Amino acid sequence: MDILKVKNLRKTYHTKKNEILAVEDFSLNLKQGEFVAIVGPSGCGKSTILSILCGLDKASSGKIEIDKNLKFGYMLQGDNLFDWRNIYKNCLLGLELENNLTKENINYVNKLLDTYGLKEFKKAYPNNLSGGMRQRVSLIRTLATKPDILFLDEPFSALDYQTRLAVSDDVYQIIKKEKKSAIMITHDISEAISMADRIIVLTKRPSKIKNIYEIKLTNRSTPIQNRKAKEFAYYYDKIWKDIDYHV
């Protein structure tokens, strides 16, 4: 079932001298429980699309259909944790802003922290945690408000390579276990193939859809294991050529 429908999205920015067409004719249907990755050249408009979808920016034209009862969660490039609040208080922040600190929601946050390896760190502060653990806290803070769709904007870009692999595994498994739908922006083709059910490849600006790939991997598992699938190199080569990184 489609829970988000985007049709012919267009975004134009106006300056004093001219107008800049950033996104043209972008369409997307997101299914319940689906993980979609969007890749493309730097500056092509990936983050602009994500900002429009989650309501931080407005489209110049086009149509977005979504059930008004569905909630969004937005995970940025940095973890954006508040250093003066401990891990537990950081995870409650979204609920505080919504004025929704019910017993049920507080219990849900405690369950997330306990389930995903942060039980012993509730009273710790962000500067005492590794980069990978901070990103896990950031995801739990996002999940605390019980969003139906997660928007992930380069969520692992600030991490070193080994930590990035481990955290992508953690985040993927949490999203799947919690049965969330997700749209992720990334520059990392390998990351996209290993995590996504479907990959949308964009052209350079003005951003249009160049290709869409349904990712079918033998013995699909965790992102780290998925990189070993026999089909992985095929998808990587195709997407690399689509993006045309050598230009």
CA distance 170 to 154: 15
Q: Which of 204, 223, 202 is nearest to 213 (CA)?
A: 202
Q: What are the pLDDT digits (tens) for 35-45?
A: 999 999 887 88
pLDDT, mean of residues 237-244? 91
Residue 246 has pLDDT above 70, yes or no: no
90: exposed, middle or buried (C-beta count within 10 Å: 0-12, 13-18, 19+)?
buried
Binning pLDDT at 50, 70 and 90, where does residue 245 land? low
Average pLDDT for the chain: 89
- Residue 247 has a pLDDT of 44
Q: What are the pLDDT digits (tens) for 57-82?
A: 899 999 999 877 888 888 877 778 99
pLDDT, mean of residues 128-145? 88
pLDDT, mean of residues 217-232? 93
Q: Which two tokens stand for residue 228?
A: 């070993």
CA distance 137 to 208: 34
Q: Which two tokens stand for residue 182?
A: 């997700």
- Residue 159 has a pLDDT of 77
- Residue 175 has a pLDDT of 87
CA distance 190 to 165: 10
**Given the structure tokens 């598992």, which residue do they identify?**
221
DSSP-assigned states of every residue in 42-64: TTSSHHHHHHHHTTSS--SEEEE
Of the given ranges (61-65, 169-173, 190-194, 221-225), which has the lowest mean pLDDT?
169-173
